[in-house]
């Protein structure tokens, strides 16, 4: 019996006519031998379904929404409810593929079945194929999503043998409780909710100054310090700058439509920039996004004077939690210095702000996001969430966008014998988080970007992708120019040598002046040989 957490349930509650809360990925395949077919995909899925619990469990709702739902096995599982096939019209270019996938991505999953779908898309230019897979965010996060994908992939074109599923366990152990059990559990949790909510509020209050919107409340820093004092949390937290999100064109109420773009940049170039500036790959990804967003906004005369505010999902999944369905994530909130004009200064500013945000995040409770989602009772949360998100988008958006970077394998993988050439992650848009989401996935020497946008909030999603590539080119060219510049050690040595030479020159000049004066005084007299020699020495 697995009950959804408050955070998992929030991903269900946020869904509305304009919001679909699933995460997805678009794999581009080279089906060299034509083995990537719907039949082969169906056989592969049925063979390995037991390796990923998220693919075989459905929701069991509590009557009237009185409590959080449960995960339960689907007794009527049918692969036809999850696997679909379509063909692109000629010529099958990237933009045609993006339009088709955007239409699928905008559709919500059917909650009567396990919350996932896979779409085989044929007809791509060059004889390629694509596989688009989406799973509800209530069931997986970024890390568990990558693990779920890994269960379907192989290290070579030959399909690896998979151990057969063990004998089924007692269904009563894994199934959701019956009606009476659900209502009894709901009654207990409703009665004890005030105590749990108070505990969650105290836990979250210690980092009130690091939570969007809450940090803008007058006295939030004092409240946070007081809460940490009461909790005897003596860890010194670095102060964060103002986390108020400025207005941008992509913030506000979203529609149900989606546009997307996808593309790749060399991971080596990103690593070179990171190494040269003593930064992480994730820091450089943030710098690329910062520069791209600055350029995009500047083109439209919509660049705010203040930095944008970004939420960066962070996995807090422990080593023994791979089998758990649901989310084990938190979020790191940081400003993006889009207001810094110089590229080098902007890169350094990103490094500094991310370093500060990481230090602050490391001291915060890892489950603060779940604690906030636990403050209201389940029935209230399910009814109020869409309205709260819509209202926040109109009044005070807490963040401008979400940016996520998921690490992946640096070697080729295969699906049904077809080599995976690229894997573009695609994520969620909500009213509160804005009409733009940027996610990237490192795979086989490339950094694959997937950008999802609401067309009513962002008119040119492909243009933003071009700006990302331009930002990396700009940083790489600066790195190449730096190769012809002396290193810091060389500059230090040259400066030291120049200082010594200058000192010696001043000493020589001083000696020359003294000798000239001595010559004037001794004019008309025969100098001593030793003095004559000394007098000539400075001018030699």
Residue 146 CA from chain centroid, whole number: 14
Q: What confidence score (pLDDT) does residue 214 get?
A: 65
Are 311 and 433 in contact by the 8 Å Cβ rule? The answer is: yes
Contacts of 385-389 with CB under 8 Å at 24 or more apart are 385/10, 385/13, 385/14, 386/13, 386/14, 386/15, 386/16, 386/19, 388/432, 389/14, 389/19, 389/430, 389/431, 389/432
**Of the listed 22, 137, 259, 467, which one is catalytic?**
137
User: Has residue 340 been placed in a domain?
Assistant: yes
In a domain, 223, yes or no: no
What is the structure's pLDDT at 141? 86
Could you tell me how many residues make up the chain? 540
Number of H helices, E strands in the chain: 15, 15
Q: What is the pLDDT of residue 316?
A: 80
Q: Which tens digits make up the pLDDT trace of 466-478?
A: 999 999 999 998 7
Question: Can you give the pLDDT at residue 386?
Answer: 86
Token couple for 97: 């593929």
Predicted local distance difference test score (pLDDT) of residue 119? 98
Average pLDDT over residues 200-211: 73
Residue 521: its pLDDT value, please?
37
pLDDT at residue number 397 = 87
Q: What average pLDDT does the segment 119-138 reach?
A: 96
Tell me what the pLDDT averaged over the chain comes to.
84
Weakest mean pLDDT among 150-159, 161-170, 260-269, 291-300: 161-170
Number of domains in the chain: 1
Q: Is residue 511 part of a domain?
A: no
Whether the predicted pLDDT of 33 surpasses 70: yes
Q: Does the pLDDT at position 372 exceed 90?
A: no
Using a pLDDT cut of 90, give the percent of the chain over it.
Answer: 56
Is 232 within a domain? no
- Rounded Cα distance between 335 and 357, Å, is 9
Judge whether residue 531 has pLDDT over 60.
no
pLDDT at 134: 96
- For 101-131, b/e burial (b = at least 16 CB within 10 A) is bbebbbebbeeebbbbbbbbbbbbeeebbbb
Q: Say what the pLDDT of residue 481 is.
A: 60
Asked if residue 173 has pLDDT above 60, the reply is no
Cα separation, 508 vs 428, whole angstroms: 73
- Span 349-357, mean pLDDT? 93
Average pLDDT on 239-262 reads: 91
Q: What are phi and psi of 106, to 5 degrees?
A: -75, -15
Predicted confidence at residue 190, as pLDDT, reads 87
Residue linked to tokens 């909790």: 231
For residue 528, give the DSSP letter: -
Hey, CA dihedral for 81, 82, 83, 88, is it positive or negative? positive
- Say how far apart CA 224 and CA 233 lie, in whole Å: 11
Widest Cα–Cα separation across the chain? 126
Element (H, E) at 441: strand 436-443
So what's the pLDDT on residue 259? Answer: 97
35-49, 179-193, 198-212: the lowest-pLDDT one: 198-212
Structure tokens at 93: 């270019």
pLDDT of residue 511: 46
User: Does any domain span residue 536?
Assistant: no
Which CATH number does the domain housing residue 296 bear?
A: 3.30.559.30
Confidence of residue 326 (pLDDT cuts 50, 70, 90): confident
3-state SS assignment for residue 450: strand
Residue 476 lies inside a defined structural domain of this protein:
yes
pLDDT for res 147: 83
Percentages (nearest 5) of helix, strand, coil residues in the chain: 45, 20, 35
Kindly state the average pLDDT of the residues 406-422. 95
- Examine residue 229 and state whether it is found in any structural domain, yes or no: no
Tell me what pLDDT residue 485 has. 45
Lowest mean pLDDT among 51-60, 97-106, 315-324: 315-324
Q: How far apart are CA 216 and CA 238, in angstroms?
A: 17
Q: What is the pTM of this model?
A: 0.84
Say whether pLDDT at 267 is over 90: yes
User: Is 344 inside a domain boundary?
Assistant: yes
137 catalytic per annotation: yes
pLDDT at 524 over 70: no
pLDDT score of 172 more than 50: no
Give residue 515's pLDDT: 44
Domain range for 421: 2-164+173-188+247-482
């Amino acid at each position: 019996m697995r009950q959804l957490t408050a955070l998992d349930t929030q991903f269900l509650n946020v869904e509305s006519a304009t919001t679909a809360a699933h995460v997805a990925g678009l794999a581009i395949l080279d089906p060299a031998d034509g083995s990537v077919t719907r039949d082969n995909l169906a056989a592969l899925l049925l063979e390995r379904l037991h390796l990923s619990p998220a693919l075989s469990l459905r929701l069991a709702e509590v009557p009237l929404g009185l409590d959080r739902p449960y995960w339960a096995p689907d007794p009527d599982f049918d692969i036809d409810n999850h696997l679909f096939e379509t063909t692109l019209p000629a010529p099958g270019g990237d933009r045609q593929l993006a339009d088709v996938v955007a239409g699928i991505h905008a559709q919500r999953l059917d909650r009567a079945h396990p919350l996932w779908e896979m779409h085989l898309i044929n007809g791509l230019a060059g004889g390629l194929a694509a596989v688009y897979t989406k799973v509800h965010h209530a069931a997986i996060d970024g890390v568990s999503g990558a693990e779920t994908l890994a269960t379907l992939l192989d290290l070579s074109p030959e399909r690896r043998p998979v151990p057969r599923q063990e004998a089924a366990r007692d269904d009563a152990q894994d199934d959701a409780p019956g009606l009476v059990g659900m209502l009894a559990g709901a009654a207990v949790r409703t009665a004890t909710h005030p105590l749990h909510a108070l505990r969650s509020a105290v836990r979250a209050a210690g980092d009130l100054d690091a939570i969007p919107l809450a940090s803008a409340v007058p006295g939030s820093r004092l409240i946070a310090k007081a809460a940490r004092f009461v909790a005897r949390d003596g860890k010194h937290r670095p102060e964060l700058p103002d986390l108020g999100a400025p207005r941008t064109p992509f913030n506000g109420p979203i529609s149900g439509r989606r546009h997307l773009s996808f593309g790749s940049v060399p991971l080596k170039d990103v690593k070179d920039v990171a190494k040269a500036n003593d930064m992480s790959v994730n820091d450089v990804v943030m710098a690329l996004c910062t520069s791209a967003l600055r350029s995009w906004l500047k083109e439209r005369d919509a660049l705010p004077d203040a930095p944008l505010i970004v939420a960066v999902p962070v996995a807090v999944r422990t080593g023994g939690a791979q089998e758990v369905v649901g989310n084990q994530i938190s979020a790191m909130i940081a400003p993006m210095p889009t207001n810094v004009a110089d590229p080098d200064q902007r890169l350094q500013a990103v490094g500094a702000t991310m370093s500060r945000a990481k230090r602050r995040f490391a001291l915060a409770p890892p489950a603060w996001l779940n604690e906030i989602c636990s403050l209201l009772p389940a029935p209230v949360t399910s009814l109020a969430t869409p309205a709260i998100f819509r209202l926040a988008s109109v009044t005070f958006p807490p963040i401008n966008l979400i940016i996520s970077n998921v690490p992946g394998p640096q070697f080729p993988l295969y699906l049904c014998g077809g080599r995976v050439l690229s894997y573009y992650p695609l994520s969620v848009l909500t009213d509160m988080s804005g009409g733009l989401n940027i996610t990237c996935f490192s795979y086989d020497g490339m950094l694959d970007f997937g950008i999802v946008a609401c067309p009513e909030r962002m008119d040119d999603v492909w243009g933003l992708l071009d700006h990302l590539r331009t930002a990396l080119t700009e940083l790489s060219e600066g790195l190449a120019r730096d190769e012809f510049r002396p290193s810091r050690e060389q500059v230090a040595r040259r400066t030291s040598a120049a200082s010594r030479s200058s000192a010696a020159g001043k000493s020589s000049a001083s000696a020359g002046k003294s000798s000239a004066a001595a010559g004037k005084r001794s004019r008309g007299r025969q100098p001593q040989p030793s003095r004559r020699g000394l007098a000539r020495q400075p001018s030699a």
